[in-house]
Amino acid sequence: MRVDGPIGYMQALAGRLTAAQQGGFIDQEQLDQLQNLIIQLQEHNTNAWQDACQWLASLMMFNPQLAPAVDRELLWILGGDCLHYLTDDEVNQFQQQDDLH
């Protein structure tokens, strides 16, 4: 599946987490928060990137069973505390890719 930019990664995550909700792994409030973050990002709100990073880091910390639903690229793009959920090898790989661009 081709994902178009950071917002595309967030939208793809929303789709996966909606499916996870049916299994009882995530609640509607968390999905609503994610949808709100996507809207904030699309509207270029001032703190949207920071809020998205905090939300995703919280999801990874408190719902580790959902980690496979998160694209590794999204963790890299958001940076900050999200980087703690990437392996050293993944960080090195993303840094090499960034150096090429």
The domain tally of the chain equals: 1
Range of the domain at 66: 5-100
> What mean pLDDT value characterizes the chain?
92
State pLDDT tens for residues 60-94: 999 999 999 999 999 999 999 999 999 999 999 99
- Angle between the N-to-C axes of helices 28-42 and 5-22, in degrees from 0 to 180, rounded to the nearest 10: 170
Q: What is the pTM of this model?
A: 0.89
State pLDDT tens for residues 13-25: 999 999 888 888 8
Question: Which residue do the tokens 């999905």 mark?
Answer: 31
- Residue 86 corresponds to which amino acid? L
Residue 51 tokens read as 């809020």
Q: Quick check: 35 pLDDT over 60?
A: yes
Residue 82 tokens read as 């999200």
- Residue 74 corresponds to which amino acid? L
pLDDT at res. 41: 94
pLDDT at res. 48: 95
DSSP string, 35-75: HHHHHHHHTT-TTHHHHHHHHHHHHHHH-GGGGGGS-HHHH
